[in-house]
Amino acid sequence: MKIWISHPDAVEFLGPLPDGADLAFLPTPSSPLPGDPAEVEFWVPPFLSGGSTTVLLPQMTSLKVVQLLSAGADAWAAKVPAGVTLCDARGVHDSSTSEWVVAAILSSLRRFDHFARAQAEPRWSYADVTPTDELAGKRVLVIGAGSIGSAVARRLEPFEVSLTFVARTARPADGVRGVDELPQLLPAADVVVLLIPLTPETTGLVDKAFLAAMPDGALLVNAARGPVASTDALVAELGTGRLWAALDVTDPEPLPLDNPLWTMPNVLITPHVAGSVRGVLRRGYQLAGAQLRRYAAGQELVNVVRDGY
């Protein structure tokens, strides 16, 4: 069984390989092919890979499994051929992305972005923005009730917040509301966190009406995918100064240097780094190794992507 992975230094994390496994490395789509792609059965593409990597799929006529290292599968879901099982990295990014969400909320509310700019001048800026806002007592609406959402909840609970979760479909037994309830939920949210996958249904979810429904001074946190939020709508609403935003993802990426979001004092931007931590390859390839052993044993795979989720 031929297996291609993307990170030679992560082999140790795979664990024991099945009998007959033939492992080779393709670090990037432009790297020399390590063999005939038509013979590959199990493929682990690079982390955060997308369109430039999926071009190899038509050549992989024996492919059975694509195991992603990312939690999002939007770049792959519509391109993987019939008969190939696509699996995401659910669980791999729970700690890192939830850490980013909490850090982004605290940094925005406590104005760390402002103080960092003042330090670069340098300038003692106590009187500029103090007293700052605080997280304690905030009403937090989390849109996306998957494993990352659960990890965010665990990390926010000590901050004395009230949490409401929204998913594609309501789950009353779990206290999860449906996305159709957002018009009623948004006006009561101090912080709105986006963690949903990018699908045709979620593209542009955050539009003019969505933002208009958020109360004055509320904070939008996007740790999902850039196209979940309309960039034009963000520029228009955030440009008024009525709302705040912390964005790890934008549409497009990289965000053009002339986009007004860069210079808005109420916007914190990081360059899609929520999942880019030192432990990601270890966790990702531990998952890939377990999946590989399941596949070789004829067992059901986990994290199978269906309908973009």
Domain map (residue ranges) of the chain: 2-92+277-296, 94-269
- Taking residues 94-119, report their average pLDDT: 97
**Is the pLDDT score of 155 beyond 90?**
yes
Catalytic option among 111, 114, 225, 283? 225
Q: For residues 136 and 30, which has the higher predicted lDDT (pLDDT)? A: 136
- Taking residues 50-69, report their average pLDDT: 92
Residue 225 annotated to the active site: yes
**CATH code of the domain occupying 2-92+277-296:** 3.40.50.720
Residue 70: the pLDDT is 94
Residue 307: the pLDDT is 82
CA 237 – CA 119 distance, rounded (Å): 28
Where b means 16+ CB within 10 Å and e means fewer, 250-269 reads bbeeebeeebebeebebbbb
Phi (first) and psi of residue 214, to 5 degrees: -75, 140
Phi (first) and psi of residue 69, to 5 degrees: -100, 0
Q: C-alpha distances in angstroms, 96 versus 149, 303, 306?
A: 12, 18, 24
H-helix or E-strand spanning residue 148: helix 147-156
Q: Work out the pLDDT band at 308, boundaries 50, 70, 90.
A: confident
Q: Work out the pLDDT band at 274, boundaries 50, 70, 90.
A: very high
Q: For residues 57 and 49, which has the higher predicted lDDT (pLDDT)? A: 57
Residue percentage of the chain with pLDDT more than 90: 95
DSSP E strand stretches across 17-93: 22-25, 40-43, 65-67, 85-87
Residue 161: the pLDDT is 98
- Taking residues 65-76, report their average pLDDT: 94
Q: What is the pLDDT of residues 237-267, one digit of tens each?
A: 999 999 999 999 999 999 999 999 999 999 9
The class that CATH gives domain 94-269 is alpha beta
CA proximity to 245, closest of 255, 304, 49, 35 = 255
- Taking residues 81-101, report their average pLDDT: 97
SS3 161: coil
Rg of the chain in Å (alpha carbons): 21
Give me the residue label for tokens 């890979």: 49
CA 45 – CA 53 distance, rounded (Å): 8
CA 249 – CA 269 distance, rounded (Å): 8
Residue 30: the pLDDT is 85
Q: Work out the pLDDT band at 179, boundaries 50, 70, 90.
A: very high
DSSP 100: H
- Taking residues 65-86, report their average pLDDT: 94
**Is the pLDDT score of 51 beyond 80?**
no
Q: What is the mean pLDDT of the chain?
A: 96
Catalytic option among 90, 114, 177, 272? 272
- Taking residues 84-97, report their average pLDDT: 97
Q: Which strand ranges, in their side-by-side order, compose the sheet holding 65-67?
A: 22-25, 2-5, 40-43, 65-67, 85-87
Both tokens assigned to 298: 């004829």
β-strand partners of 224 = none
β-strand partners of 119 = none
Q: Are both 2-92+277-296 and 94-269 of the same fold?
A: yes
Residue 154 annotated to the active site: no
